[in-house]
Amino acid sequence: MIKKTSLLWMSIGSILIAQNITKIEYDGLHSLSPNTIAEISGIKVGDTLSESKIKESVKNLLEQKYFQDVKAETKSGGVVVYHFVEKPAIANAQITGYGSDEESKKLIEAMGLKRGELLDDAKMQKAKEVLQAKLAQDGIYDASVDVKSEVVGEGSVSLTFDVKKGEKVKISNLVFNGIDALSESDLETNLVNKEEEFLGFLPFRNDGVANLSQLENDVFRIKDTYMKHGYIDAQVSKPRVEVDSKNRATIEYNIIEGNRYKVGDISIIQSVEGLDSNVLYEGLSLKKGKYFNIDKMRKDIVYLQEQTANLGYAFANVSPQMGKSGTDVINIQYVITPGTKVTINDVLISGNNETQDSVVRRYIYLAPGDQFSQTDLKDSKNALGRTGFFEKYDIQTQKLTDDKMNLLVNVKEAPTGSFSIGGGYGSYEGFMVNGSISDKNIFGTGIDTSIGIDYSQRSTNYNLHLANPRIWDSLYSLSMDLYKKEYDYDNDGYQIDQTGGSLTVGREFMRHFYIYGGITYSDNQSDVTDISGNELYKLLYSDKYKKAAGVLGVKFDNTDDYYVPRSGFIASLGVEVATLNGELNDDHKKPENGGYTDFGDFVKFNGRFGAYYGLRDLIDYDLILRYKARANWLNATDGYVPVAERLLMGGIGSVRGYETYSISPEILDGTEYRRVGGTKSFSNSIEASIPVSEEAKIRMAFFLDYGIIGSDDFYGRSYDNIDRASGGVAVEWFSPFGPINFIFAKAINPQDRDETSSFEFSMGTKF
């Protein structure tokens, strides 16, 4: 289809000495204008006609890479005619016989075939190589690719890559000859090509499909495994592959392990002002007397580079020098070459179609004129992720000179505004539904707003939320909440009606620390609508009071993403000091009912902790481990604390698999048990989240929840602690409407009166 470029000099007639060019004609020219061609060729009417000049002009035209071929001829009378064969433009490219349409589109993009670009032999060869590599990566054996081209319009072609797949090769046996110090399982752990495991189609199991393009790299992975254990002289042969008639493969490696080395002397050679070598030694992972580990050396190199870059040396180089001492000791010397201190020239932001530049810049800890810092760069990336505004985000450095660089901030905005609906069904709440209109980044200002309603057979909750995390781009935040809640706690007619609001001011300190304080107010009206209830029941659930409280708290957050963090911690500690005002029911004061004299003021403490750890760098799989814990403690002065102010547990946020707020200490009222709430609670969760579909942005999390709740004496009665556990699976979907969480849970140790829930879903919550 594409001819090899050639140069032909054609001369018709005789050329007179010193003859001038009288006319220039262009044949077959479509894409470029004659004026542009004249500038490129360097030939114009009036120039002296010479063979060397014409040849030079053809060379200039071919160097532009617009043409397959360029020929020139001269005619009598000083006429020069250029004949062009232009490279065809790509009108369309498609792949048949491979994957879904979406997979094919991504692969075509990786092949470098963009619509409108010119097609040549080099581009076609690259496209074929990328496609063949992908087929090998998928374990497709003996696949063939036919390329068909069809002329579409003038100067354009449509390409079709027709894939005829062979059979997938499955690895039935790995053979490691010569191993003694390490086991086969040690060596296989980091390989791409592994033996097929039992039930290999399940997550965390290996299906044994060969990735033929990675065989040579597996040799380096085996050697790397030996170097992690101190065998720096290990030698690994190229793999020998045998494939039988059933496409079952045996892969064999020959290995010479060599000696195992311990770390000897470690030294750091550097002359960077402000960089203390004694402090650097303390941060190194490799230690004298321990076995050598290549991973720890790499970690040390990154550590030393970061410490040097934090002083402005963005392009610092750390070179490890290794020297053997005897047959089992290796001395290591790190040589730091800092280069020149670098300052930020400019911060260039792209991809923020809605979010204002100023909102993005507030999360970038480096500004024009600042000295470069690697830690600041890393923290800036994490800060962008914590906003929840962006689906993708990255910051690249652009070197301008030895002492100047630009920061290129590229973001892809996530859907922050949504109309959300969630719900579930349980034996206690019945059918539950919640809906809200919200936007975490309204009009691109970074302000969080929401209006929501939650409804079930037992409750109705209206709320209005407004929060500005950075008032006028300062470190201060301001939030306001208004709400109205109605809740039916029991089948026999107890209801509570709360109306209130809060105003909170916060400030960021030390980058990851936040302090906040504010006031809250609520008007609480409780009533018993079922007159057939017992006297104690009517007494417990007929409180009418107003609550005013002050809140104060501190929070730490250095996670790398708002919705799906893969590293970092979240921790918070808050305190609420509340005063209750109202007229206590006379029955509360009766000795037989406990003898309370008035409403009791109280202090409520709450703590939260979350740890996130992604294992992709360790196992080349996007497994995320999470641990979340919540603790609450209510300390009341002498007096009566209404049930509505006490602690309850169950549902999303504590112990899934049980109805929301259904786990509570109880008091026997005649023949009925009444929930009275607790004064102390603790719950925690262990989760493992795995990807299901990166394309659809779906993950699955397996979880175990455990919680315990207890109470001090209440109405003269003591209560045993209540502990509950559950397990299950959560489907986490980052949908176009926002994050949606489907929860399938099973209560592990439910008791007779427990209200369980096997399914819930929510929208707009973190994973």
Domain boundary among 137, 164, 191: 164
Q: What is the CA radius of gyration of the chain?
A: 36
d(CA 630, CA 653): 8
Length of the chain: 767
- Verify that 459 and 391 share a domain, yes or no: no
Phi/psi region, residue 32 (left: phi>0; alpha: psi -120 to 50; beta: rest), is beta
Q: What is the pLDDT of residue 683?
A: 97
Q: Is residue 763 within 8 Å of residue 422, measured between CB atoms?
A: yes
Q: Which residue is it, tokens 């829930």? A: 757
Domain boundary among 23, 55, 86: 86
Q: Which of 276, 241, 30 is nearest to 141 (CA)?
A: 241
In a domain, 115, yes or no: yes
pLDDT < 70: residue spans in the chain:
1-18, 30-31, 99, 136-144, 153-154, 165-167, 199-205, 417-436, 456-458, 489-494, 529-534, 592-594, 737-738, 763-767
- Verify that 601 and 490 share a domain, yes or no: yes
- Verify that 634 and 495 share a domain, yes or no: yes
Domain boundary among 86, 112, 129: 86
Q: Is residue 99 within 8 Å of residue 93, measured between CB atoms?
A: no
Q: What is the pLDDT of residue 533?
A: 60
Q: What is the pLDDT of residue 428?
A: 47
The tally of domains found in the chain comes to 6
Each residue's pLDDT tens digit, 622-678 = 899 999 999 999 998 878 888 889 999 998 889 999 988 889 998 887 777 888 889
d(CA 661, CA 651): 7
**Number of neighbours of residue 525 by Cβ within 10 angstroms:** 16
Reading the block at residue 453, the tokens are 């309603």
- Verify that 23 and 109 share a domain, yes or no: no
Q: What is the pLDDT of residue 6?
A: 38
- Verify that 407 and 424 share a domain, yes or no: no
- Verify that 585 and 455 share a domain, yes or no: yes
- Verify that 587 and 491 share a domain, yes or no: yes
In a domain, 729, yes or no: yes
- Verify that 176 and 159 share a domain, yes or no: no
Q: What is the pLDDT of residue 530?
A: 63
Q: What is the pLDDT of residue 200?
A: 61
- Verify that 587 and 698 share a domain, yes or no: yes
Q: Three-state DSSP class for 748?
A: coil
> Taken in order 627, 440, 464, 507, is the CA torsion positive or negative?
positive
In a domain, 2, yes or no: no
In a domain, 217, yes or no: yes
In a domain, 1, yes or no: no
- Verify that 528 and 579 share a domain, yes or no: yes
- CA dihedral (452, 456, 458, 459) in degrees, to 10, reads 0
Q: What is the pLDDT of residue 7?
A: 38
What range does the domain containing 223 cover?
169-256
Q: What is the pLDDT of residue 16?
A: 41
Report which residue type is found at 173: N
Residue 250: give its domain's CATH number: 3.10.20.310
- Verify that 560 and 618 share a domain, yes or no: yes
Report which residue type is found at 270: Q
pTM here is: 0.64
In a domain, 383, yes or no: yes
- Verify that 193 and 71 share a domain, yes or no: no
Q: Which residue is it, tokens 């790499």? A: 298
In a domain, 154, yes or no: yes
Of all residues in the chain, what percent carry a pLDDT higher than 90?
41
